[in-house]
Chains A and B, each alone.
Chain A
Amino acid sequence: MSSAVPFLIYIGIFVGSYLIVNRIIRRSARTDFTSLKTVTFGDESAVVSDRVASVISVVSIFVLWGMFTGSTLLPSFLHAPGPFQGIATFDYTAATEDGQSDTATVTVLVHPIDEQPDPPQVEPGEGWARNDTATIGMWRSGLIRVDQNDELGRDAGARVTEVNGQPIAPGGSVETPFGRVGMSPKGTLNFEPSKGWQMEPIWLPAPEAVWQKFVEIAKDGFRGTTLLEHLGYSLMRVVVGFLFGALVGIPLGYAMGLSNWFRGWFDPIVEFMRPVPPLALIPLVIIWAGIGELGKIILLFLAALWIMAIAARSGVSGVSISKVHAAYSLGASKGQIMRHVIVPNSLPEIFTGARVAMGVCWGTVVAAELVAAEKGAGMMIMVASKFQNTDIVIMGIILIGIIGFGIDMLMRWAERVLVPWKGKG
């Protein structure tokens, strides 16, 4: 149930910020050209990304992350209720078969899970039921043999009948202000301190913990390799694999676009290989080439090859016949037409293909490193997950995302600079 809370809060922020920004802050009308349009619904050009919405969107993700991890970056009143920590107490009442009953207090120290404190000291108290003491880690639960120190224990036929004055039987439980007290089928009490709504760090660490891990790994490396080297290895594989793929794929695509024989020969191969996800090739590549660099580069070469071949082929096919005719009439030879008409005309398509191929290669290399690698971004998060280092896993995912985004930006920039005529023919 409580896992729905973050979603509800998120929807609340979405709706609330929309109402606040648009109904209250922006009540004064906009004055750009779009504001004069009477019809905007369905007019694609009237839909622009609202910067304020983007900022609130990103901030709210971090706020939610912080709220449900008890982040120190947020003031504590914003935190979701956290797990109980400190001294918890509850009373139990034991009764013997002949009707004698006595009550004693259990004192439990609920501590952070990475600490091993001693149990708190308590007085034994009056009566035959004696006060008990125990330690339990946060988010954990533990059995407490409360009758162990009692004068009339289980062996004397005494059984626990009430907790905090409420009756309890084997299999039942009683809620206390500090958590739930249950009773096992054999009659032993089991205390589960309340968990609150925050996530345990092993599932989701706080943002600052991820940042700290990043700083730490950037300084000390991970498994004997620096962070830059891990990321550099992944990038290097992508670049080398892509370059080989482009080096073979582009000429292949040109040949397919210019010659019937090449088109006929390679069409079945290319059309078959195109829909095969590169990830499906990982097992075969591992069998053939092992898990070293060669296997990875072969895999990325194959991932890029078909995309580049198809891009080059459609770049050639896309040249308008009147351009070619014009060039012939201006006295150009076949070689000159290739160089001055067909190649430049195909560059926009090739750049689009290269952008797709780089994206696919980046995804493929991470997946391949998840399967087997000694270095690399994917290997880093896979190994970390085996040791339940969730902070490293999340840090790795964020870095992989940033690099993937960076590759795409770089390709777009190169496209703008190198083929400014794209889409303007």
Chain B
Amino acid sequence: MSGLSIENISMRFDLPNGTSVQALKDVSLHLQEGELMSVLGPSGCGKTTLLNILAGFLAPTEGQIVMNGHTVTGPDAERGMVFQQGALFEWMSVRDNVSFGPRMKGQSASQYQQDVDHLLDVVGLQEFKEKAIYELSGGMQQRVALARCLANDPDVILMDEPLGALDALTREKMQSLVLKLWKETGKTIILITHSVEEALLLGERLIVMAPRPGRIHKEYRLPFADLGVGQDLREVKKHPEFAIRREEILGMIWDMEEEIMGRTEAAS
């Protein structure tokens, strides 16, 4: 079976004080190749944990991840990661960061040169390729992270709040870039975000997770990602359904957060 299957994943963290945290409970999901899915949910509902399990950094206490027919047992170049920030190698130039994956595979410069140059063009960093990472702005750094991930040609790209640290304007440009890259490369992308608007814009599918235990609360199929590929994202936001969905999901998350607060207040 092609695509990415999350099969009955549960994750429990045993804490040193003897208690345990049920970070995920019985999460199941199937992604077709080339799907773009965004994940929303209040803080602490297990989004990062789920992504780490998908990447292969954590083994779930129950269930398994199956990708293109084989079970995931650890990190692999077929599943690329883009982190919120700080995951670039600041001792390398922009170009060396982007070519990291191919170089680790033992490719020679002549083999990856063209791909890397093309990606640098796509993310608009051609003239910065000799620069050091710490000379770039936050938005440029995230574009390097995207290019670095793509240069490795993974089947699935996992993003944990990749645009969370950017200012609003840069963020909007980056959202368009993510959509463009998704359409051009046809990658399967899972993107975690805190922003409801971003989740709506960057998800053909959107899942809302609920906390304690972390689980899938609701799933949507949305037209906005496809609409956003060809046009200004501000136009997409004017779509009548967009506002309806936004209010609906915001209300849902507010309710969850209120419940969490109520519970912690009751506990204290």
Contact = CB atoms under 8 A, between A and B. Distances in A.
- Same complex: yes
Contacts of A419: 91
B104 A344 contact: no
B83 A326 contact: yes
Contact of A421 (B57, B79, B134): B134
B55 interface: yes
A255 interface: no
Contacts of B57: 325, 328
Interface stretch (A12-20, A117-125, A333-341): A333-341
A345 interface: yes
Contact of B87 (A325, A333, A420): A325
| Interface magnitude class on chain A | 20 to 34
A425 B57 CA distance: 23
A331 B77 CA distance: 5
A389 B101 CA distance: 66
B133 A330 contact: no
Interface in B102-154: 104-105, 132-134, 148-149, 152, 154
Contacts of B55: 325, 329
A326 B91 contact: no
Contact of B132 (A340, A347, A421): A421
A327 interface: yes
Interface string B56-81: 01000000000000000011110111
Given A325-B81, A420-B132, A421-B133, A330 B104 contact: yes
A171 B101 CA distance: 94
A347 B55 CA distance: 28
B148 A330 contact: yes
A129 to B, nearest CB: 91
B242 interface: no
A331 B105 contact: yes
Q: Which of A330, A336, A341, A347 has the most CB of B within 10 A?
A: A330
Contacts of A347: 91
Best-buried of B86, B89, B132, B148 by chain A (most CB within 10 Å): B89
Contacts of B76: 329, 331
A330 B100 contact: yes
Contacts of A424: 90, 134
Contacts, number: 73
A323 B148 contact: no
Nearest to A325: B57
A322 B86 contact: yes
A322 B148 contact: no
A320 interface: yes
A330 B148 CA distance: 8
A397 interface: no
Interface string A403-421: 0000000000000000111
B89 A329 contact: no
A331 B152 contact: yes
A372 interface: no
A345 to B, nearest CB: 7
B17 to A, nearest CB: 21
Top 8 nearest A-B pairs by Cβ distance?
Answer: A331-B77, A424-B134, A328-B75, A322-B87, A330-B101, A344-B91, A421-B90, A329-B81
Interface of A: 320, 322-323, 325-333, 336, 340-341, 344-345, 347, 419-421, 424-425
21 contacts: A320-B87, A323-B88, A325-B57, A325-B81, A326-B83, A327-B100, A328-B57, A329-B77, A329-B80, A329-B149, A329-B154, A330-B104, A330-B148, A330-B152, A331-B76, A331-B77, A331-B104, A341-B89, A424-B134, A425-B90, A425-B134
Interface of B: 55, 57, 74-77, 79-81, 83, 86-91, 100-101, 104-105, 132-134, 148-149, 152, 154
Given A323-B88, A331-B76, A332-B100, 15 more contacts: A322-B83, A322-B87, A323-B89, A325-B55, A326-B88, A329-B77, A329-B79, A329-B154, A331-B104, A340-B104, A341-B89, A344-B91, A419-B91, A420-B132, A421-B132
